[in-house]
Copies of this chain bind each other. A is one copy, B any other.
Amino acid sequence: MKTDTLYQHGTLALLVPGLLTGTLTMKELLQHGDTGIGTGEGLDGELIILAGKPYQVNSRGEVHVVGDDFTLPFANSHFADYQPLMSVESASKTDLNQQILELSGLQNAFFSIKITGTFSGVKTRAVAKSSQPYKSLAETAKQQSVFTRDEVAGTLIGYYSPQLFDGIAVGGFHHHFLADDHTFGGHLLDFAAVTGDVSIQLFSTLEQHLPVDNDDYRQHDFAQDNIKEDVHQAEG
C-alpha cells in the first residue's frame, strides 16, 4: 500500500469549461486510497472519503454514502498514514493554514491534512448537480448552497498543493469537512476557530490520471479558458 502517493483523477482545469462528465467510478477511486475528496458528475455535491467510506454532501446539505458506481470528473484519494503535527486551540482558518506551512516547511510538496476537533463559525458549501450540456464552472458554481453551524465536532480532510501545480490541482489548501454525526459537511469555505488535533501526510508523488478516453476532454481547447481566475473565484 503506497502511502507516499497522492492519486488525482482529472485536473482542476477541466472543471472550468464544464467538462463535468463522471470519468472515474468511486470503486476505481477507492482502489487508490481510503481517504479523499472530490465531486460527482455535473458537480454533484462534495465528497469526503473517511476510512474507505465515501460520503457525499448534496446541495440540500444531506449526507449520504455513495455506491461503487457513482462517477466523478475530479477527485483525490490516498492511503491514510497521517503523522501528528500539532494541537490547536481556537485557531482561525488563516492561522491554522499558516501554522501548518511554517511547522511542516512543505510549501513545495503535496500533503494531506487531517483535523479532528470542534469547529465554530463553520461555513460549508455544496454545488447542485447540473446536467448536459454542462455550463462553465463559473455558471454552475452559482447553483451552490451554503450551510453554517455555530459549533460542530467533526473531521477536516484537506490537501495542500504547491502553487506550481495551481490549475492542475487547487494551489494552496483545499479542505472538505464532515460532522461526526453526519448531519453536516461539504467544501469548507471558512471557520472562525478550531480546537483539536492536526496531523499531516507528506506525498513524494502525485499520480495524475487523466480522462484520456473521454472525447470531450480530448478535443477541448483549454487555451480559451481563464483557468486560474475562474477556479479561484469558484473555489473561494
Contact = CB atoms under 8 A, between A and B. Distances in A.
A222 B167 contact: no
Interface in A199-213: 202-210, 212-213
A170 to B, nearest CB: 14
Interface residues of A, number: 33
Contact of A109 (B106, B108, B164, B218): B218
Contacts of A233: none
Interface string A102-128: 000111111000000000000000000
A220 interface: yes
Contact of A167 (B110, B164, B202, B217): B164
Contacts of A205: 207-210
Contacts of A206: 206-208, 210
Contact of A212 (B11, B109, B223): B109
Interface in A158-176: 162-165, 167-168
- What 5 pairs across the A-B complex have the smallest Cβ distances? A206-B208, A109-B212, A205-B209, A204-B212, A13-B164
